[in-house]
Homo-oligomer: A and B are copies of this chain.
Amino acid sequence: MEIKVMHQIMEWNEDVSEQVKAELAEHHICLINVMGSPGAGKTSLIVRLIEAMRSRWRIGVIEGDIAGQIDAEKIDAMGIPVVQLDTDGACHIEAESIRHILPHFDLDALDILFVENIGNLVCPAEFNIGESFRLALLSIPEGDDKVPKYPLMFSTSDAIIMNKYDMLPYFDFDDGRVERDAKGVNPNAAVFRVSPRTGQGLDELLPWLEARIEAARQS
């Protein structure tokens, strides 16, 4: 019975994600689904990317959290339009929630919408929320064995970002292994090594992101 219902929900989610995609396309907005474990540095990376890209693009953020609004407050303090999505215990975001939230933004005044998904390497990967593309974060302290352990997350993402890369000297983390594992499950994924704290690796990530954003906004 569980499997049957899951299937129904997924089909329903696909319909809604197509509606979200259509609405975003009408306004030439690129939606970036940012996923990773609790504490992988999702908010810190989004903050860094906003700083680097806000002179060129008009950016908004949807902050998904199970409870509280700590992250939304950080984005709001930057003067960036942000909506808090409180999932009230749920472990992922679905397209239906995005559909309800979109009218709270001035869509004609946005080029990019970041969605910070719930901190979770499992469930968010199952749900298309109408995104243009997906970023999967794996932070150095989490360990280098995570790609084979959470294959759906890394196989469905467009870029795999080794985050908090400045922490590499303090952990037993083989970044070559992660890159090999990532390419193994997802040969088309881009792989980056980034530190939001030091800025390391942004010079590689940003051009890739900007090309993807331009392509998404024109599609």
Contact = CB atoms under 8 A, between A and B. Distances in A.
A149 B91 contact: no
A215 interface: no
Contacts of A167: 141, 170
A1 B91 CA distance: 17
Interface stretch (A19-27, A54-62, A63-71, A102-110): A63-71
B67 A119 contact: no
A66 B141 contact: no
Interface string A121-164: 11100100000000000011111011011111000000000001
A39 interface: yes
Nearest 3 pairs of A and B residues by beta carbon: A39-B142, A141-B141, A91-B122
Interface of A: 1-2, 5, 8-9, 37-39, 65-68, 70, 89-91, 118-123, 126, 139-143, 145-146, 148-152, 164, 167, 170
